[in-house]
Structure formats: C-alpha cells, structure tokens
Chains A and B, each alone.
Chain A
Amino acid sequence: MSVQRVRELVRAAERAGPARAQVDHLCQMAVAELPVDGVGLSVTGGPGRQSKVTATDDISGRIEDLQVLLGQGPCVDAVELGAPVLIPDLAEPSIGLRWPVFTPAASAVGVRASFAVPLVVGDVRLGAMDLYRAEVGQLDKVDVDEAQAYADAAVELLLALQHTAAADAVSGPVAAAWAGSSIVHQATGMVMVQIDGDAAAAFASLRARAYQEDRALHDLARDVLERRVRFDRAAE
C-alpha cells in the first residue's frame, strides 16, 4: 500500500536538513527517480490564488509561473479535478484547444510532455505537483502512483510545518515562495480601483496585459505599483 511508501519518502526528505529544505529535496528525489526532467510544486489559497512553492529547474519554474500567470494548464486542472492530469504529448491538437495559451508557451520553453498530480487532503485540494519531460511519452501507471506518493509526501511535509506554525501563519517554504508574489496582489488591489472591478477582474486584466506584452506578471505588477502603468477604463 502506498501509505508505507509515502512514509518512506517523508522520512528520506526529513533527513535532508532543515524544514525548509525538505520540500525542495523531495522534489529533487522525484526527478532522480521518475522518468521526468523536472518537478514543480504549487499551493492554492482558492480559485485564482495559486502560488509557486518550489521547482527543481528553470523550466519547471517556468511551468509553475505560466500557470499562475495564465490560470490554465495541467496543474490548474489537477487541482480542480482532484485527479492526475497526464499529457504525454503537448503537440496533440486537442491539448492546444484545452489550454490555448499555456500549450504554446510551455512548448516554447522545451516542454514536450506535462503531468500534474493533485495535493489532496480529505476534501481540501491544497495544490499540485507538476512534472515535465523534454521528450514525448506517457508515464505508466506505476510512475503515476509513485508521483502521487511524492505529492502525498509533499502534503505531509507542508502540513507538518504548518502544524508548528501559528494558526494564522503560513509555513516555511510556502511563505518564502509567497513573499515573491506579494507585489502581484498589491497591484491587483490598485487595478481593482482603476477598473472599478473585483479582485478576479483586476487579476484577469493584469494577466491579460502581461500575456499580450509578453512580460512577466511580476514586472508588470512593479510598473503598476510605481505608477508607470494604469488600467483606467478611459485609457483602454
């Protein structure tokens, strides 16, 4: 049974050092063991509030950022479905229709196959683990089960850290990753006033412009905060 396997993975990651390094180490273990080229992890504080926790390499980091930016992709769907999403070949036409923006963007950075397994805790969908391959090819059932064991182990590590945190605090690796995205949410608040809309509408406006202008959401947010960019209705 996989419960045993999850315990083994948690123990192996715990040996890696301080609490904050454990989640990173777990993802590196997954890359070493599974037939994939990179692993990334994100958690969500609700719809449209996804936040990257860690990634083993630049491409995996890009996959996480793209999904936060675009609100679409295997990880977003895995969280929504609470089930693994397996895309052995991103060039498959149906995938282009499913995620019209994510698919070409991921292909452009060298992703050929993309997989995501959910971080599930009872009724709560905490986030997802993304795995990618630079070659086309499916993960077989044993690998998917193993990927899910890694995702479950990531949940255990995150919650063990949360267990020692104050009730309203965010645990180590999540807090560290989160700190980087705070300006995006500040910019969202400013855009809410500028477009006279709610947070979802403001975030969607930011995402759309970042995508149109082919720039990082983060950079655009910085411009909004420094009042170099506005989203007034009149200006559109």
Chain B
Amino acid sequence: MTGPERERRVAEAFVELADTLVDDFDALDFLHGLTEHCVNLLDVEAAGLVLADGEGVLRVAASSNEQVRVLELFELQNEQGPCLECFSTGAAVSDDDLESPEGRWERFAGEAAAAGFRSVVALPLRLRDQTIGALNMFRAASGPMPPDDQSLGQALADVATIGILQERGAKRQEQLARQLQEALSSRIIIEQAKGVLAERRGVHVDEAFRALRSYARAHGERLSEVARLVVTRELDPAALPTSEKADDHTR
C-alpha cells in the first residue's frame, strides 16, 4: 500500500469508528470493522477483540477470521493469554516469540503457534481509568511490532472505545426516557382505573384506590398491572374487595 493510499484508508477507518450514534448502529458489525481495519492497515495477519459484558465478564466480540475467534475462545476458557492480561492491567502486552519456551502464556502460546502465529500484541480498549475490553493482534513473523503500527493500532482502539461508550450512554438515555414515559403512562392508567371503579361502585376515588391497592397486595401483583386490567376490562371490578362502608352499586 502506498503512502497516500494508506493515509486515505487510515482517515476512512477513523471516520467509520467515530460514527456510532446512528439509528441502525450494530455493535457486532462495528467491532468486526475494527478488527478488519487492523488487518488492512497494520502489519498483522489477524485480529480479535474481547469486550466485558454488563457483569464485567469478558466475551469474544469480534475477530477478523474464524481461526482467531477459536483462539480467543480458548484464551477465555483457559483464563490465560494476552487479552486477559491486557484487560486486567489496562496496559499493552505482547509476546514477540510465541515459540520460545520462556513465553508468558504457555498453553495459549502453543495454540497460537499451532495456528501459524509467531507473535502477538494485545492493546487495551480504555478511556481514562475505564477498560472495557482488549484488542489482540496476531502476526506471522516473530519480533516486536513496529512502534508506528502499535500506536496506530492503539489510536484505532481508542476511537472505537469512545464510540462504544457514547453508544452505551445514548442507549442508557433512551432507556431512562422509556422508563419516564412508562411511569407516566402507568400513573395515568391508575387514575383511570380509580375512575372506572368509582363509577361502577358509586364510591369516592380514594375508596376505589384502596380497593385497587388491597387487591394488588392480596394477589402479589403490581398496582399498575391491576389498574391496567381494570381499564382494559380484563379484570371484573366485582372481583375487587369492598370496604364495609362501600355501598355496592355494581350494575
């Protein structure tokens, strides 16, 4: 790849990785794109990515090919390898010679060497003190990765990290907005149910509310759910308790 051509492709990769706040954002596709950019732009044969899930457990999120996906899974199952170490320390780690007997990850190195790789570098997906995953890059040659390649790899990982965190933030906002709307809706439905019951029984809305609440408690149901059933007529108001003072006017 010539200089200007590479520069153009690097620029394109950055634009693509920054563009996560779109309606049809697909996280897996996005992360797969990151591994492909690594292979296309850096002196590496393959790349794989692990990401922590909601519980902080690492999962294989993407890989540039199937062979690497299997290697990443092996790493997670055996709890040994560059991605795990990189994720827990938040710092880049590497093994320049996977065939050397002094390697740091014996079992992982054996598997990687058997797959034809001679060296590996893992870079953190990290923003300030928050590490969300790690990017593993595999090379067919032994020896350290050229420093320029490693910094470009880290820059791609950084942009992707910001993108992922932004997207998660946006999802969280959307979830809160839904929560607010649902809370508002259920309050409206509870008021309507009070009205339905008050009219059916000829009682005050406060008394109707007490009946709704004691029915919900007695049946271990949420008040908003009982209210919804009353409003949609799936629950016969006659099934609800009446207080001794209530004059039953059910028609």
Contacts and interface: CB of A to CB of B under 8 A. Distances in A.
A44 B183 CA distance: 11
Contacts, number: 113
Contact of A190 (B173, B180, B198): B198
Given A46-B185, A167-B179, A168-B224, A123 B199 contact: no
A126 B194 contact: no
A170 B192 contact: no
- The interface residues of chain A, by DSSP majority, are classed as helix
A186 B194 contact: yes
B174 A45 contact: no
Interface in A51-66: 51
Given A122-B170, A183-B191, A194-B199, 6 more contacts: A46-B181, A158-B180, A162-B180, A167-B179, A174-B180, A189-B194
Nearest to B222: A168
Interface residues of B, number: 31
B135 interface: no
A190 B170 CA distance: 40
B32 interface: no
Interface of B: 23, 170-171, 173-174, 176-188, 191-200, 205, 224, 231
Interface in A155-180: 155, 158-159, 162-163, 165, 167-171, 174, 178
A144 interface: no
Among B173, B178, B185, B195, the most chain A Cβ lie within 10 Å of the Cβ of B195
Interface of A: 43-46, 49, 51, 121-124, 126, 155, 158-159, 162-163, 165, 167-171, 174, 178, 182-183, 185-194, 199, 225
Contacts of B194: 186, 189
B184 A174 contact: yes
Contacts of A158: 180
Contacts of A192: 192, 195-196, 199, 231
